[in-house]
A and B are shown apart, each in its own frame.
Chain A
Amino acid sequence: MGMPEQAQKSQQLVRQRSRFLLDRRYDAIFVFGVLFIVIGAAHVVFMLLAGDWDFWTDWKDRQWWPLMVPVMGLIVPSALQYIAWTLLRLPIGATLAAVCLVIGEWVNRFFNFHGWTDFPLNFVWPSTMVPTAILLDVILMWTNSWLLTTLFGASLWGLLFGVENMPLIAPFRIPVEYGGYVLSTADVQGFQYLRTTTPEYIRIVEQGNFRAFLQQFSTVTAVAAAVISFASYWFGQLIGRVLAVLPIGKFMKQT
């Protein structure tokens, strides 16, 4: 709680739109600083937790991809949403995290997987979670309730991951007759583009059956992802709380 004197002073400052203390230059530095930190943090957390499901098209299946990637991918957006909302009342934390993650992942795929190791980009592109992140932020802004945001936002996050990534994966689900077998195009990419440390047997995907033609992304997986996303959302909130109360909160109050 700020002292009355201090509160008065700060109120004055906002009214005056002071050019000294709260210059837009500081805003720019702040935003770019946050951008870098979030790109780094989101990328690292995501690589370690969702790794292969996001790296290769032949891992992007109907069962594990729409479960592992959104669940692991929600932690950083949730934490950032908490910080942005409680400290700044900005409903953009999740969107910022999702956008930063997409930037970080494309940089990683382009320079590392494509530039350095020479995989074609159509084999190693990242997933997107930007649309569901926007919905998560908008729901929080409307409801101003963590509980309702969990119930509606986090569940949409899990439910809609398959939908938001459907136009991306669709070309790679087209079947190919290969060596007398029916494979998906993604399987052929996995067969042909040599990964010396990722043999086929470590791939964790739905044990598909070629008669099971895709009608939609598995509803069961989407519901499971929605439910587990609750936990993931609260884990992120916990991290956000710790960060906001401890270093960032104190630091921001000092400046």
Chain B
Amino acid sequence: MSIYKRFSLLGVLFILMSVLTAPIAEAHGENGLPGFLRLRTVTFFDVNFTPNQEQFKQGDEMTITGKLKILESWPTNVAEPKVAYISVDAPGPAVLVKERWVNGEFTPGSIFVEKGKVYDFKVKVTFRKEGRYHVHPSLLVEHAGPLIGPGHWVDVKASTTPFTNPITLINGKTVDLEKYGLGTVVGWHLIFFAIGAIWLVYWLVRPVLARMLLVEQGKFSELVSKRDKIAGAVIAVVVAMTLFGGYTYAKTAFPGGIPQQVYRFAPEDLKLNHFVTYKVESATYGPTTQTVVMKVLITNHGSDPVRVTQFSTAYIDFVNKALAKPDTEHVMTVSPDARITPGETKSVELTLQDEIWQKANLLPIEEAQISMAGLLFVQDDKGNRDFGTIAAPLKTDYQTILEVLKKKEEFIR
């Protein structure tokens, strides 16, 4: 093989290597939990997108509000939730996160969280990129990964003016964060690069491979001359002066810098008035009909009669069929759907028949143990609402599992 071929082969190999390893290096973020674990980890509810519309243009804002509860049924085989980050899920920096509030407090970074607690969030985003994309609120939990709330489609049209992101620095200057400091960065990179290139060119204009023979013969003085050593001294002085110049420039052009700031706190608890308690009597799942049936004992400790309004799990709300609007996506039947009077304990059967269980891989029957968990909501006539976690392993008929698996196998064939 010729030297040319060998080198081009090696070159191609290394380029391939760098291309192939780049995604690995960048995708080291945390992986999402499998669907069936999501039911038991976090429930999003009351999520609203304001303005609730699809059409936007670059630079428009949207506010995402909602609540989430880190469930008591958090699986033991997933790392205990301690540190979390409330964010949005969108195609990367297509949106800018302008504000994040948790339980009424502005939140610069991550928060300390606890199982069983409820967090009220507000995230304000600005649309930066045009295009049609899905935006969700999300909770990223350390060692457990992202848990995504309900999504909202937006169609962002290009603005006639170029997108800018003005921000006022503490020194009073307003800058565009889209390109602030880039000139400085590129300029200094070019200066350093140029000095490096001069040093390389100084040596590489002379024969290169021929040096090998002289090295073998030990003729080192012919290879590095006195003149070369002086050139080395000159370039070293140039480097030292440039470094001093860079240092001075940084001090004078950008005085008063501070290090990165890490603010992490536990948000103050929300004041929640609980007046209802729940106890799950039984929970079953029929895979062929994709139906979850839960029998729940509800006790009303309040002073007004209450009615079951909703069951929420992961990012899905199942609304009591009797209360559903025409555009309600997921419903459940509640029977009996009578009011539970103060002091009364009533057994209520919830039937949730929905394609989503398998479509979103929330209840895959191949798993060793499947469970249902989520929040059950009740409301009295005055509009007072209460909710609590219900969680139970799902019993399912062994015979039907076999049938479904067999069908799946046939389908694959």
Contact = CB atoms under 8 A, between A and B. Distances in A.
A171 B180 CA distance: 8
Contacts of A175: 169-170, 256-258
A197 B27 contact: yes
Contacts of B4: 29
B356 interface: no
A119 interface: yes
Contact of B208 (A2, A30, A178): A30
B412 interface: no
A199 to B, nearest CB: 4
Contacts of B95: 194
Which of under 10, 10 to 19, 20 to 34, or 35 or more describes the interface residues of A? Answer: 35 or more
Contact of A168 (B189, B211, B242): B189
A99 to B, nearest CB: 4
A118 B232 CA distance: 41
A170 B259 contact: no
A178 B169 CA distance: 9
Nearest to B169: A174
Interface of A: 2, 7, 10-11, 13-14, 17, 22, 24, 26-27, 29-33, 36-37, 39-41, 43-44, 47-48, 51, 58-59, 61-62, 86-92, 95-96, 98-99, 102, 104, 106, 108, 112, 117-122, 125, 128, 130-131, 133-135, 137-138, 141-142, 144, 160, 163-164, 166-189, 191-203, 205-210, 212-214, 251-252, 255
26 contacts: A27-B208, A40-B18, A44-B21, A48-B25, A51-B26, A92-B200, A95-B200, A120-B182, A130-B193, A141-B224, A160-B243, A167-B184, A170-B257, A174-B256, A185-B181, A189-B177, A194-B96, A194-B97, A196-B92, A197-B27, A199-B85, A199-B110, A200-B85, A200-B110, A201-B140, A206-B259
Given A22-B210, A40-B14, A92-B203, 10 more contacts: A7-B216, A10-B217, A30-B7, A118-B93, A119-B92, A120-B182, A181-B106, A185-B167, A200-B85, A201-B142
Interface of B: 3-4, 6-8, 10-11, 13-15, 17-18, 21-22, 25-30, 83-85, 87-90, 92-100, 106, 108-110, 128-129, 138, 140, 142, 146, 165, 167-171, 177-182, 184-186, 188-189, 192-193, 195-197, 199-200, 203-204, 207-217, 220, 223-224, 228-229, 232-233, 235-236, 239, 242-243, 246-247, 249-250, 253-254, 256-264
Q: Which 10 A-B pairs have the closest CB atoms?
A: A197-B29, A173-B257, A40-B14, A33-B7, A171-B181, A179-B106, A36-B11, A170-B250, A170-B254, A208-B259
